[in-house]
Chain A
Amino acid sequence: MRERTQPANRWLVLAMQVALIAAALLAWEFGVRAGKIDPFFFSAPSQIGVTIGGWWQHGYILRDVYVTMEETLFGLLLGGGIGIVLAVLLASNRWLGAIFVPFLVLFNSIPRVTLVPLFILWFGFTLWSKVVSAVVLVLFVVFFATYDGIKDVDPTLVANVRVMGAKRLDVMRHVLIPSALTWIFSSLRSAVGFSLIGAVVAEYFGAQAGVGYRIQYSEAQLNTSGVFGGLFILMVLVFIINLFLQRLQRRLLVWKPVDP
């Protein structure tokens, strides 16, 4: 058992974190104003703010975020769906598992980012080149989580429901899938993260809109404020998504003891 210490005061922690961020931003800003930091290479918080404000006025931000989220969502659903179906098939059939799992391990070892230019070539600057880039990342995360989830199920649970009269499909429905679901939910946050990475990287290689496109476009113009601005938007996006997923996980896994 882990010893439980008094948890730190939430608000105090939050206040200190805000103070830390403010201090870092101020140091950056004054470093630039004092001529110690070259704004050409490092920009400055005020300039980044101005850039983001400009994007907002032009209506770029909502459009970019919408496009990127659309790609991320499609990538997540498609990659997750394929991953789950594949895992259920390969985990429930000894032969299929023995034959195909090594291939998946092999594919998983390919640095997927290097495939993105290929997808652009195949699918053009469309939504689908981004979705496929996200899919090849998400698929493996979800596949291995689900596969392990089904394989690691406690044999006693299976024996118990079988004696109670469960057939193959019943075992699947009442034991294997719920067990795998817990792993899938636990992998959800990294799956969403990977989906976003896939989408952004593909945008970076060629797109007409999206946060990744915005970053790449700024970079091409040697506009460091634009690069940092894009990264900032990405950061906020991931932060909000994680907050939401944390809530979702807690609701879906009510039957699990809360980690101390």
Chain B
Amino acid sequence: MTIISLAGVTKTFDSGYTALRDVNLDVAPERFVALVGPSGCGKSTTLSLISGLDRPTSGAITVRGKPVGGITDGVGFLFQRDALLPWKTVRDNVLLPLQLRGVGGEEARSRVAEWIGRVGLRGFEQSFPYQLSGGMRKRVALAQTLVYNPEILLMDEPFAALDVQTRNLMEAELLTLWQGSRKTVIFVTHDLEEAIALADEVVVMTAGPGRVKARYDVTLPRPRDIEQVRFDPRFTELYSQMWNDLRDEVLESYARANAAG
């Protein structure tokens, strides 16, 4: 079973930069897949293509067996940058996707209240984004994405800008929310530890143009304690295996950046 499939996908931007070259990737439903690689390896581009925000130069992308054209249905996207509408309150931000889907009245109200509660922001309904901390804004973004119950979650380094403590908290919360939700997650990060701690499967990509270099199953048991799991011997073992793969790519991309700079 696959829910998302990329076959021979290449993406070259107008600037002439090739972000992805001949990428093949199949994702099974309800899996938590982490995409790791050095910066500029096309991880974010992969998410844009799956969501339908951008089109591949060549190759085929299918979601639930249907080729992607226009925005993909049932997809939630968590961006690295703040994407909340600054002129809407927390409540109105979370309400927006329901509004766009024509869900209104009592149902919309109760779902919004439920999700604001689930991400721990009760009492902040009337706040504007600028009045919240970075971690709180991420929670709102999470509620905004989950409130319309998308089957697929695309996450583009969503916690990269947070401090380490907040980040660990958010990771733990994400796992709690995801557990039993039957959602498929593709989580882009450059942090190998984060990838292993969260995912069922880690895909290592090459330095740009990105290709799939290796895939690893993370067999650590669930539910996981985000803090404790890092001390599990299997975690360390996986980490050193993947780091071997990743290191070459990071060095490669680093060397190239230096040569270019």
Q: Mark A residues whose CB is within 8 Å of B.
A: 154, 156-157, 159-166, 170, 174-175, 178-179, 181-182, 254-257
Contacts and interface: CB of A to CB of B under 8 A. Distances in A.
Contacts of B148: 164-165
A165 to B, nearest CB: 4
Contact of B53 (A159, A165, A175, A256): A159
Given A156-B82, A254-B128, A163 B71 contact: yes
Contacts of A170: 100
Interface stretch (B6-14, B59-67, B72-80): B72-80
A175 B51 CA distance: 19
Contact of B77 (A157, A159, A181, A256): A159
Contact of B100 (A161, A255, A257): A161
B120 interface: no
A255 B130 contact: yes
Contacts of B89: 255
Contacts of B130: 255-257
A163 B82 contact: no
Interface string B238-261: 000000000000000000000000
A170 B89 CA distance: 18
Give the most central of B48, B51, B86: most A CB within 10 Å.
Answer: B86
A255 B96 contact: no
Interface of B: 48, 51, 53, 71, 75-77, 79, 81-89, 96-97, 100-101, 128-130, 144-145, 148
Given A165-B148, A166-B100, A170-B100, 10 more contacts: A156-B79, A157-B83, A159-B48, A159-B83, A160-B84, A163-B53, A174-B88, A175-B85, A255-B87, A255-B130
A130 B85 CA distance: 40
A174 B96 contact: yes
Nearest to B130: A257
Contact of A256 (B48, B83, B84, B86): B86
A67 B89 CA distance: 41
A165 B101 contact: yes
Contacts of A181: 87
A256 B79 CA distance: 22
A156 B77 CA distance: 11
Given A156-B81, A164-B97, A182-B87, A255 B128 contact: yes
B53 A255 contact: no
A178 B97 CA distance: 17
- Nearest first, the 8 closest Cβ-Cβ pairs linking A and B are A160-B83, A164-B97, A255-B128, A163-B77, A165-B100, A178-B87, A257-B130, A255-B87
A174 B84 CA distance: 11
Contact of A156 (B83, B87, B96, B97): B83
Contact of A161 (B87, B96, B129): B96
A40 to B, nearest CB: 56
Contacts of B87: 178-179, 181-182, 255
A248 B79 CA distance: 34
B187 to A, nearest CB: 16
A160 B71 contact: no
7 contacts: A163-B76, A164-B76, A165-B71, A165-B101, A179-B87, A255-B86, A255-B88
Given A159-B79, A254-B128, A165 B85 contact: no
Interface centre among A165, A170, A175, A181 (most CB of B within 10 A): A165
